[in-house]
Chains A and B, each alone.
Chain A
Amino acid sequence: MLLLVVAGISSCTKEIDLYPQSNLSTATFYRNTGEMNIALSGCYNGLQRVMTEEWTLTELRSDNVVMGNAASTSTVNRDLSDLDMFFPNTAHAGLYTYWINSYYNIRNINILLNSLEVNYNASSGSISYDPLSIAVAEQDRKKIAAQACFLRAHHYFNLVRLYGGVFLVHEPLNPADAKAINRSTVEDIYRLIIADLQSAAANGANQKFASIPAADVGRVNSWSAKALLAKVYLTLNRKADAIPLLQDVITNSGYSLQASYANVFSITTEMNSEILFAVRYKAGGLGIGSPFGNLFAPLNSGSAVVNGDGSGYCYPAVELSNQYVTADLRKAVNIATYGSGSSARLYAKKHINTQTVVRDGETDWPLLRYSDVLLMLAEAQGNTGNSVTLINQVRTRAGLPNATITNDAQFEAALALERKLEFAFENQRWFDMLRFNTTLTTIKAEQTLKDHFAVMYPLHYTNYPSPKLTLAEMQAKVTPEKMLLPIPQREIDNNTQIVIPQNPGY
């Protein structure tokens, strides 16, 4: 009798062949152009995740910014202070968050590219479009893959500059196999970056700015790929490779300087002719708003600066504020003062606009701007007449007279300062400082930081609760080794099969 029952029931095994009803899975998605585009939007979304931490590893460690709440000893503030003051320990939470969020998006990008059979060949250092069995038209495949390649290069470019030779992951990875993989060399990482960007530049959309279809505004295109590739070459001190790319963008892209610096960042003129690429945010309770208004508004400002109060994490260094001359139109866009008299505080204003809901701002975060292209070309060309003209183009728009440049040192100083003032709070300064070590001869990152500590010590660092560091102790922390962040301790601890080398000095 039991057998009968069993026989009757075993036909019902479909009752346990169930699949999720409220989530798609990688096993069944990525079947056609529509789904590939949806996955691509997900990769763009991954940029937002990374941006939340990116300023703490770049702007905060540079001479642009100090951690606002010196007296506070809350964990969040303490972690930020550690970055500001150059002693992050290897288990620092922010370092890890940025790391895993970058790799999270690299994973999404790799799954997408893999589904499109767009593969990176590590030995040849090139991207190949391999035979594809699913129904995605070739021009769609190129359009999607070019954007994804750019995004992957963007992440690796930041990772390699922040952490050195990171782990090279360019295809979906089974976690069980990952423990056999060690760090790659810096050169190998740059090979992937260059291959990705060359592929993105070759296959990306190349309409001039004015002809970009409305729906594609904000997407990566051939121009943004070329500009980023130029920056990669510049970082590698391959100036000659950078120059034609930048000239191409200036001559053919249709991008241009905005007449007003304020307009570049205005939420009413988003993705204007100066923005080659930006991480975009949208307010309105969609879950894709910008958090920076609240992060950067001064602490205890209630709703006076931005609705929902500020955390005061990112205060402009006084020296930066003083470097803007009175006529400079950029200062009012970048820096404002809250409070008056002795309680007056500077705050970074660039990313703050009106908003209804906490951490739901509209303001985009520009990553590549036309003025960056101009100044990169100047940097690549060195002290030439054309280069000075390029710098002056940017100065003129800022309401400033032409720069006085009579020798190379003046040129370099003018270029470095112009970039600092132009791109304040855009996560450029830290990478600029590092790059100037190789692209310029007179500007050295370590010295810049030591000078920064000297200026800010009596104004700011002396306010830390005791026992606090002396200026000499702070300056001693600025060493060539500390220009790289440590690999997150978790990554080293977690691999018990192979030894993962930590960066020197940690």
Chain B
Amino acid sequence: MNHKTAIMKTVRSLLVTLLWMVCTTAMAQRVITGKVINKETGEPMQGVSVLADKAKSGVSTGADGRYSISVQKGASTLVFSFVGYGAQSVLIEDKAAIDVAMVQVAEENAEVVVVGYGTQKRSSVTGAVSKYRNERMDETPVARLDQALQGRIAGVYVQNISSEAGAAPKIQVRGISSINAGASPLIVVDGQPVPDGMSFVNMADVESVEVLKDAASAAIYGSRGASGVILITTKQGKADKPKYNFKFSRGAKTDYKRYDIMTTSEYTEMLFAEAALKAQDPSITPPTGTAIATNAERAAYIIEQTLMGGKSTDWQSESLRPGAFQNIQLSASGGKRDMKYFVSGGYQSDEGMMFKSMFERFNLRTKLDIDLGSKVKLGLNLNPSYTKRQSPSENFTNFYRYPSFLPVYHNDSTAAKVNTLAQWASIRPGAYAQPRHFSSIYYSGTMPDGSLWVPTGTSDPFSSAQNTPKSSVLNQDIDAREYRLQTGVDLTIKILPGLEFKTLASAYMNYTNQLNWANRNATADGVVSRGVYIDNTYIDLLSENTFNYNKTFGDHTIGALAGFTYQRTDISREQTTGLDYPSDDIRTLNNATSIDKAGTFGTKNQIGLLSYLGRVNYAFRNKYLLTVNFRADGSSYFAPGNKWGYFPSVSGGWMVTEEGFMQNVKWLNRLKLRASYGVSGNNRIQDWAFLDLLQSANYPLGSGTGNSNTGQGTIPSIGGNPGVTWESTFQTNLGMDASFLKNRLSVSVDVYSSKTDELLLQQSAMAFTGVPQYWNNIGSLRNKGLEVEVSSTNILNKNFKWTTSANFSVVRNEIIELGNEAYLLNQGERTEVYQNKVGDPLIQFLGYKTDGVWLSQADIDAARAKGLTSSLSNVFIPGGLKLVDVNGDNVLDTKDRTIIGNPYPDFTWGLTNNFTFKGFDFTFTLQGVQGGELINGDANYNESRRMMRVFTNNRWLSPMFPGNGKTPYSTAGFNWMLTDFVVESASYWALRDLNLGYTLPENWAKYVKMRSLRVYFAAQNLYYHMASNYRALNPEGRSTSGPYASALIDGYQRGSFPIPKTYVFGVDINF
């Protein structure tokens, strides 16, 4: 908006100047010339308005910053003005040349922020709204906008829970305002709420991202505002001559860190070395024979040592590859006074680090702003995009847990060996090796201790019917194509001076076409080929109609907004599964031998949202500010009688520095105090939560093999509740914006407290009701938080500039009540327990505290002699975890479970430094999360426990060799997953982004007919610091499906995927 105004002014003044010059050439006058530069950078400034006093018109500076103005005799001053810069008046006296250096004023005074259904001057904002402008954000080598926002905005928490290409991170505004899975912020793209807005908006098209954080700002979005609102505004054209921009970057992506895993040989050698140690311990019966290593383990050792010639398979490397990242952007913008345009096209490809992980996106955008006469304005926005995404069929966990003695492909020796079994006689070198090939074969050979192992029968080195993960990945293709169109037309009509009516019709459509293909025998022998054809359609239509009234009466400024909107969403999904194709090369449904009914279905849903909204802004001398918002939402999500929700809010501001008594306080340039209170809602629950739905449940009845009889049964996953209604969040926000030292340091601080009532919850039901969970509104939750944003200009001179911006957020949540419950306990996939207890943080890990391991049977006997007993399994085993009798009743049982961690960070922070030196610019962002724990699921898997050095180093072996006394033996004792042994710190900090650029001097660029040319190097995750007790690869990784889809269960990591380290080289050219 500010740019637009500037251009408008410029164009207007140019025209007037021309006219004026024609008319007045004959009059008495003299000419003054000069150059206007930017004081900070020393660069010439174009478009600065130059006006002589008493004259009605002036001139503008050219591209070289020069101007020439004729002034009448008697004129005393020249006024230089430019949006965002302080106006300067210079006495003419008898000077013939006047040069001026313009100084940028604090953004605050000029900046316009986008708010719900409109814009506001930054200075009049009374809620908690953060603005992030796209300066070089689009150069960040990530595929998605939300990933680029990580660590940039106070109160906005972005977590990369998966490293797969194009995967959506988890994003939260001001913590968890809801305990329902849909507690992510509302994403609004150019006025239209779009759930997956972050995934398709081209970063290069983004002008700014605004975040409405407090309830007062978000209340205008009513039932969808409780988790915050993120407004994405795309660029638009300016009335100027055409400008072209071309950006290109390309780079690579590698894994930051891998697991330290033993090979089969190293592992077997360790077993024998351990056995040799144990043999020295007189207190135990030393292991012999298969107690040292089982026949399976010995056979595996022989395969690796002899058949594979000592070359083990590194399955992590078989999974990973260096990925490539590429981004090409082209845009043109410009226009005349009554028509402006912005047109862009982009292509991005993000090749994942895992085989068959790929994300590609094509974007086009056309934005037109047209004045249809003086009363009517038309806006058009057209944004088609196409996304192609390829996903690997196997998780990284399936790779790194795989034994190293199994080759990917048979070599001569392995093929010859398995050919001895009649079933595998036809296998040739080069064919995929599968674990079953090596079963039931006779193996014999030399063990690590030099002994000769001659078993009496055959061995099964690795029992699994599944194919190796590599052959499984290479034999399956999961390809999704998404076709999207976001488009809108708006018409603004000036009805009376100050009163406008705007109507917006917009549509968002997403059609996804996916084929999940598996070759014959892709996952196991005898598995028929399978094609799953998925078609998803999402059509969202929005009609938005608002009246806007703005008027100033003397000291009073009033703005009013009133409107209604209707949004209708149609969602359908169809899936067909075909089986048994004649060839893996023919993948269309007509070739399927049969259709799999279980994998064939369709769903169709409609969502309707009808809303009335209003807002009044009032300002007295721009000193006292007041805003009142109201929204009423009617939603199809709820049963008749519960459909309507009402969301009011009020906020006020006091511009302290506008007061007379503050005028002498020189060190303080600006101080604004803000306070707000409001209600926003959350309606993100499963469709039809108020109904008990039925689903297909057929059954064969009748003679012969029966006929499939149509059946219907209830949905087994969740039960309905006719009484479910809105969840409401009441939030109070106190804020302060201040700037000091000639606006070189500015600070914003917000503190807030919110309380969410009528929590929409997938409450655990007693299983004997027949459903594990049901929807309910119970209880309330409180969030309290503090957010600080600081930006400063540390050094500013002609050649060198250093600016810093930092943000810091703290949020604490607490359950105030849970209906009639004192607490809820929920189980994760490994039966680990998550507690939700009144008075405590929403989620805490409940489990057994441990105190190292039982060092010996004597240790156990001593404890038992003191009366310690237990009804739990495997509690008293030497080398197993030693549980702590927390309640001191001498019985180790479920009553001893206690809080062993929680998933919430103590605080999160981001720090960006920006340096410019002549043509060079350098920016880096540090980002961190301090505190919070996770449960490391690796510890559940025997493969990990045995093969990962983090679980074997210093482990207990025998009473004489107890290791560090803290690491249990892999197979001994109590279930690790239920104890604090697997609770690890999730703290980290990272050098998240780095950008180093060089801009060619202007005259050089001109020489090659360019307006500017910049080359840059950008990188992500060059350094990543993890907590010392963290045993896996990515402290941000989390499981979010299955039981973890519930917002009451969080903090579990079932093996993690490496963090990508990405770097690109790019060029940015303007014509």
* A and B from one complex: yes
Query: What's the minimum C-beta distance from A158 to chain B, rounded to whole angstroms?
Result: 14
- Whether A267 is near chain B, meaning CB under 8 Å from some CB there, is yes
- Whether A325 is near chain B, meaning CB under 8 Å from some CB there, is no
Q: Please report the C-alpha to C-alpha distance between residue A287 and residue B696 in the assembled complex, in whole angstroms.
A: 10
Question: Which residues of chain A are within 8 angstroms of B827 by Cβ–Cβ distance?
Answer: 91, 489-490, 493
- A493 near B771 with CB under 8 A, answer no
Q: Please report the C-alpha to C-alpha distance between residue A89 and residue B568 in the assembled complex, in whole angstroms.
A: 50
- B821 near A497 with CB under 8 A, answer yes
Query: What's the minimum C-beta distance from B339 to chain A, rounded to whole angstroms?
Result: 30
- B463 near A15 with CB under 8 A, answer no
- A24 near B610 with CB under 8 A, answer no
Known: A104-B716, A497-B820. A217 touches B767 (CB 8 A): no
Q: Please report the C-alpha to C-alpha distance between residue A467 and residue B968 in the assembled complex, in whole angstroms.
A: 12
Query: What's the minimum C-beta distance from A451 to chain B, rounded to whole angstroms?
Result: 24
**Chain B count of residues within 8 A CB distance of the other chain:** 121
Q: Please report the C-alpha to C-alpha distance between residue A360 and residue B379 in the assembled complex, in whole angstroms.
A: 57
Question: Which residues of chain A are within 8 angstroms of B605 by Cβ–Cβ distance?
Answer: 20-22
Known: A75-B940, A358-B526, A493-B833. A300 touches B440 (CB 8 A): yes
Query: What's the minimum C-beta distance from A289 to chain B, rounded to whole angstroms?
Result: 9
Question: Which residues of chain B are within 8 angstroms of A46 by Cβ–Cβ distance?
Answer: 697, 713
Q: Please report the C-alpha to C-alpha distance between residue A301 and residue B440 in the assembled complex, in whole angstroms.
A: 10
- B971 near A108 with CB under 8 A, answer no
Known: A13-B610, A16-B635, A493-B833. A218 touches B604 (CB 8 A): no
- A42 near B711 with CB under 8 A, answer yes
Q: Please report the C-alpha to C-alpha distance between residue A467 and residue B854 in the assembled complex, in whole angstroms.
A: 14
Question: Which residues of chain A are within 8 angstroms of B599 by Cβ–Cβ distance?
Answer: 287
Known: A38-B711, A45-B698, A302-B525. A175 touches B769 (CB 8 A): yes
- Which A residues from 2 to 48 make CB contacts under 8 A with B? 2, 5-6, 9, 12-13, 15-27, 29, 38-48
- Whether B691 is near chain A, meaning CB under 8 Å from some CB there, is yes
- A285 near B606 with CB under 8 A, answer no
Known: A39-B712, A106-B770. A16 touches B608 (CB 8 A): yes
Query: What's the minimum C-beta distance from B955 to chain A, rounded to whole angstroms?
Result: 13
In the complex formed, the residue of B with least CB distance to A344 is B440
Known: A41-B701, A280-B701. A491 touches B767 (CB 8 A): yes
Q: Please report the C-alpha to C-alpha distance between residue A281 and residue B706 in the assembled complex, in whole angstroms.
A: 9
- B579 near A285 with CB under 8 A, answer yes
Query: What's the minimum C-beta distance from B519 to chain A, rounded to whole angstroms?
Result: 14
- A287 near B294 with CB under 8 A, answer no
Contact mask B691-706 → A, CB, 8 Å, 1/0?
Answer: 1111101111111111
- A44 near B701 with CB under 8 A, answer yes
- B698 near A286 with CB under 8 A, answer yes
Q: Please report the C-alpha to C-alpha distance between residue A216 and residue B711 in the assembled complex, in whole angstroms.
A: 15
In the complex formed, the residue of A with least CB distance to B872 is A89
- A466 near B287 with CB under 8 A, answer yes
- A104 near B771 with CB under 8 A, answer yes
- Whether A169 is near chain B, meaning CB under 8 Å from some CB there, is yes
Question: Which residues of chain A are within 8 angstroms of B568 by Cβ–Cβ distance?
Answer: 15
Query: What's the minimum C-beta distance from B661 to chain A, rounded to whole angstroms?
Result: 41
- A12 near B766 with CB under 8 A, answer no
- A73 near B596 with CB under 8 A, answer no
Q: Please report the C-alpha to C-alpha distance between residue A309 and residue B597 in the assembled complex, in whole angstroms.
A: 22
- A23 near B596 with CB under 8 A, answer no
- Whether B1010 is near chain A, meaning CB under 8 Å from some CB there, is no
Q: Which of B439, B547, B711 contacts A44 (CB 8 A)?
A: B711
- A103 near B769 with CB under 8 A, answer yes
- A167 near B768 with CB under 8 A, answer yes
- A42 near B697 with CB under 8 A, answer yes
Question: Which residues of chain A are within 8 angstroms of B712 by Cβ–Cβ distance?
Answer: 24, 29, 38-39, 41-42
Question: Which residues of chain B are within 8 angstroms of A496 by Cβ–Cβ distance?
Answer: 821-825
- Whether B894 is near chain A, meaning CB under 8 Å from some CB there, is yes
- A287 near B698 with CB under 8 A, answer yes
Contact mask B814-828 → A, CB, 8 Å, 1/0?
Answer: 000000111111010
Query: What's the minimum C-beta distance from A484 to chain B, rounded to whole angstroms?
Result: 15
Question: Which residues of chain B are within 8 angstroms of A428 by Cβ–Cβ distance?
Answer: none
Known: A25-B688, A178-B766, A287-B597. A304 touches B714 (CB 8 A): no
- B710 near A38 with CB under 8 A, answer yes
Question: Which residues of chain B are within 8 angstroms of A101 by Cβ–Cβ distance?
Answer: 716
- B526 near A308 with CB under 8 A, answer yes
- B770 near A107 with CB under 8 A, answer yes
Query: What's the minimum C-beta distance from A47 to chain B, rounded to whole angstroms?
Result: 8
Question: Which residues of chain A are within 8 angstroms of B643 by Cβ–Cβ distance?
Answer: 13, 16-17
Stretch at the interface among A59-67, A255-263, A335-343: A335-343
Contact mask A228-267 → B, CB, 8 Å, 1/0?
Answer: 0000000000000000000000000000000000000001
Most chain-A CB neighbours within 10 Å: which of B708, B709, B764?
B709
- A309 near B525 with CB under 8 A, answer yes
Stretch at the interface among A92-100, A314-322, A391-399: A92-100
Question: Which residues of chain A are within 8 angstroms of B610 by Cβ–Cβ distance?
Answer: 9, 12-13, 15-16
- Whether A401 is near chain B, meaning CB under 8 Å from some CB there, is no
Query: What's the minimum C-beta distance from A256 to chain B, rounded to whole angstroms?
Result: 17
Known: A29-B694, A217-B706, A356-B580. A288 touches B699 (CB 8 A): yes
- B545 near A5 with CB under 8 A, answer yes
- Whether B177 is near chain A, meaning CB under 8 Å from some CB there, is no
Question: Which residues of chain B are within 8 angstroms of A74 by Cβ–Cβ distance?
Answer: 942
In the complex formed, the residue of A with least CB distance to B764 is A494
Q: Please report the C-alpha to C-alpha distance between residue A343 and residue B766 in the assembled complex, in whole angstroms.
A: 46
Q: Which of B464, B597, B714, B971 contacts A107 (CB 8 A)?
A: B714
Stretch at the interface among B131-139, B453-461, B745-753, B1026-1034: B453-461
- Whether A176 is near chain B, meaning CB under 8 Å from some CB there, is yes
- Whether A488 is near chain B, meaning CB under 8 Å from some CB there, is yes
Question: Which residues of chain A are within 8 angstroms of B705 by Cβ–Cβ distance?
Answer: 267, 270, 282-283, 362
Most chain-A CB neighbours within 10 Å: which of B423, B688, B697, B823?
B697
Known: A71-B460, A300-B440, A343-B457. A17 touches B607 (CB 8 A): no
- B692 near A25 with CB under 8 A, answer yes
Question: Which residues of chain A are within 8 angstroms of B664 by Cβ–Cβ distance?
Answer: none
- B693 near A24 with CB under 8 A, answer yes
Known: A26-B694, A27-B691, A311-B465. A356 touches B873 (CB 8 A): no
Contact mask B580-603 → A, CB, 8 Å, 1/0?
Answer: 100000000000011111110011
- Whether B877 is near chain A, meaning CB under 8 Å from some CB there, is yes
Q: Please report the C-alpha to C-alpha distance between residue A280 and residue B707 in the assembled complex, in whole angstroms.
A: 10
Question: Which residues of chain B are within 8 angstroms of A494 by Cβ–Cβ distance?
Answer: 764-767, 824-825
- A467 near B877 with CB under 8 A, answer yes
Q: Please report the C-alpha to C-alpha distance between residue A304 and residue B771 in the assembled complex, in whole angstroms.
A: 40
- B636 near A17 with CB under 8 A, answer yes
Q: Please report the C-alpha to C-alpha distance between residue A407 and residue B62 in the assembled complex, in whole angstroms.
A: 120
Q: Please report the C-alpha to C-alpha distance between residue A301 and residue B720 in the assembled complex, in whole angstroms.
A: 45
Query: What's the minimum C-beta distance from A306 to chain B, rounded to whole angstroms?
Result: 8
- Whether A471 is near chain B, meaning CB under 8 Å from some CB there, is no
- A6 near B607 with CB under 8 A, answer no
- A96 near B694 with CB under 8 A, answer no
In the complex formed, the residue of B with least CB distance to A93 is B831
In the complex formed, the residue of A with least CB distance to B458 is A343
Question: Which residues of chain B are within 8 angstroms of A287 by Cβ–Cβ distance?
Answer: 596-599, 698
Q: List 19 A-B contacts (CB under 8 A).
A: A15-B608, A26-B691, A26-B693, A47-B699, A69-B463, A89-B975, A99-B768, A103-B770, A107-B771, A218-B706, A280-B700, A285-B597, A285-B598, A286-B708, A302-B526, A339-B440, A494-B766, A496-B821, A496-B822
The 4 closest A-B pairs by CB, nearest first: A107-B770, A342-B457, A287-B598, A41-B711
Interface residues of B (CB under 8 A from A): 287, 291, 294, 296, 423, 435-436, 439-440, 442, 456-458, 460, 463-465, 524-528, 545, 547, 562, 564, 566, 568, 577, 579-580, 593-599, 602-610, 612, 614, 634-636, 640, 643, 687-688, 691-695, 697-706, 708-716, 719-722, 763-772, 774, 776, 820-825, 827, 830-831, 833, 871-874, 877, 879, 894, 940-942, 969, 971-972, 975, 978
A16-B610, A18-B606, A20-B605 given; name 16 further pairs at CB < 8 Å: A12-B566, A13-B610, A16-B609, A24-B694, A45-B698, A71-B460, A71-B463, A74-B942, A173-B769, A176-B776, A214-B702, A280-B700, A286-B708, A302-B423, A494-B767, A495-B766
